[in-house]
A and B are shown apart, each in its own frame.
Chain A
């Protein structure tokens, strides 16, 4: 991934203000979004519910229109042109497909819209059905599909044309753990095939597992974006001790030690900086604990998320006052 490369998706100052109700109340769903997605990237687009993820995706697909700002996809601002759309597969949020059609009929139909025909189309339908594990239900009407099955068919229709770019809006939300794992495996496979993935989610662990770059959106504003290496700070050192008892731990807490975790007779203390390590070791020794090891710990995506959202909320509160 070279920096000089043209981004595949680019937005500048992208803003969407919805007008609702009869009095035209404004909802600022997205504000001045500058985003660049490069070929081959797996971009995790994060944010709590209502932060503007779906709005962004619908703008990228031309389903709704910007209040102002610009969108470029594959180098052009005519994002609705069939030439651009040919390269995009999209999985909408929630699973809504024509109920009165069979699984394979739907894929057949969507494939036709991409210009696939005949043998080629049939081969693609077979392939994607197999990929999402739906071959057994291909002749059944969608009416009888479970939510997980619908989501798989959704993923299959997004993949039918073997597109370069995949835009997935909360692909695993609302699924059971097994279905989630399976969808995640498919996504990992697509990543390995070199596709560009734009995944919106609030399932942080999943995003952390698969993405190489993330952006965190809150209240329509992109708060941070970057690679996980850039964003997740290594601040903490975890110091592990053995021979812990309840009494000893109580003393440590009284003396201002920060307990990170505790398993049986093991206790893990947090050191906030390199210098702090010595204080923590000294503290442990003073109550008779024996040092086991010291490990640096990278912040999890969840902690970053909470940190970013908390400060954004604080900012909002001060603004309102």
Chain B
């Protein structure tokens, strides 16, 4: 046991300092403030505007719109922050050579990388908590019902981000600047959100029996299997259309968590495998 504690101490210290340093970055804080403003604006400004016409009760339509805006804001700003931070925590240190001083300390590369990855997760989680928390409070004030469904949604969104983060991180471990991994992260997020279409492509292919047709279908099938399906993590439709304290019905939460963890661990292993022999 004490061996385990000894082993995770280093990564933990690195994670905490990565988190602290991240909080002092302007880009990150800027994104965060912007997203909070959007959520705040969407929830409170509409109610303010509508009071004249509808009185105290917010209409159903308004609520749907607000929820839609806020859920979308959380996922878009959240994923931008996720990609930005996962793409930069390692390359920034290689670029400005801080990594020399850290890797020359009694810390194995595995521990260093783990620390960086955990630090990124701390930032992502903190940021989700702030955005989700604000939305939670706003919804509660409006409807006087505890929006527990939102908590489930934020929980699942984190695991969606975990996948994007781990894969972006793996790319970042091979690059010396954060530009390439940022682009890769966006690509992963976008294609990951479109994997349902790949399945469509596969289902429709092979009808003509032509080689090219089958090949495309086959490729689509492989991609559909390899790429994470990020849509599965979304509770947006349910949040928008049902009561805020409904249990989540569209998803199998334990399976999704496991699914995300498998991707995250694979991403981390790839990252380590790249980083193990990397010259800095």
A85 surroundings in chain B (CB, below 8 A): 104-107
Q: Select B107's contact among A58, A82, A94, beta carbons within 8 Å.
A: A82
Verify if A278 is at the interface (C-beta below 8 Å from B). no
Verify if B200 is at the interface (C-beta below 8 Å from A). no
With contact pairs A96-B97, A98-B98, A101-B17 given, residues A115 and B9 touching in the complex (Cβ less than 8 Å): yes
Q: List 27 A-B contacts (CB under 8 A).
A: A61-B104, A62-B103, A62-B104, A63-B100, A63-B104, A64-B280, A65-B277, A80-B108, A82-B106, A85-B104, A85-B105, A85-B107, A86-B106, A90-B100, A96-B98, A97-B98, A98-B17, A98-B21, A98-B98, A101-B17, A105-B17, A109-B13, A110-B101, A110-B105, A113-B107, A114-B106, A115-B106
Number of interface residues of A (CB under 8 A): 30
Could you tell me which residues of chain B, from 97 to 118, have a CB within 8 Å of some CB in chain A?
97-98, 100-109
B60 surroundings in chain A (CB, below 8 A): none
Number of interface residues of B (CB under 8 A): 25
B105 surroundings in chain A (CB, below 8 A): 85, 110, 113-114
B107 surroundings in chain A (CB, below 8 A): 82, 85, 113
Q: Select B100's contact among A92, A101, A112, A114, beta carbons within 8 Å.
A: A92
Given contacts A97-B98, A110-B101, list 20 more A-B pairs with CB under 8 A: A63-B104, A64-B279, A65-B279, A82-B106, A83-B106, A85-B106, A90-B104, A92-B104, A98-B98, A109-B17, A110-B105, A112-B9, A113-B14, A113-B102, A113-B105, A113-B107, A114-B106, A115-B9, A115-B106, A154-B101
Interface centre among B10, B17, B24 (most CB of A within 10 A): B17
Shortest distance in angstroms between B108's beta carbon and chain A's nearest beta carbon? 7
Whether the Cβ atoms of B280 and A113 lie closer than 8 Å is no
A157 surroundings in chain B (CB, below 8 A): 101
Could you tell me which residues of chain B, from 1 to 23, have a CB within 8 Å of some CB in chain A?
9-10, 13-14, 17, 20-21
Q: Give the docked Cα–Cα distance between A98 and B103 (Å).
A: 14
Verify if B53 is at the interface (C-beta below 8 Å from A). no
Shortest distance in angstroms between B35's beta carbon and chain A's nearest beta carbon? 21
Verify if B25 is at the interface (C-beta below 8 Å from A). yes
Q: Give the docked Cα–Cα distance between A113 and B102 (Å).
A: 8
B109 surroundings in chain A (CB, below 8 A): 80
A93-130 interface code vs B (CB 8 A; 1 in, 0 out): 01011111100010001101111000000000000000
Could you tell me which residues of chain A, from 53 to 85, have a CB within 8 Å of some CB in chain B?
58, 61-65, 80, 82-83, 85
A94 surroundings in chain B (CB, below 8 A): 97
Interface centre among B10, B13, B21, B105 (most CB of A within 10 A): B105
Verify if B207 is at the interface (C-beta below 8 Å from A). no
Verify if A238 is at the interface (C-beta below 8 Å from B). no
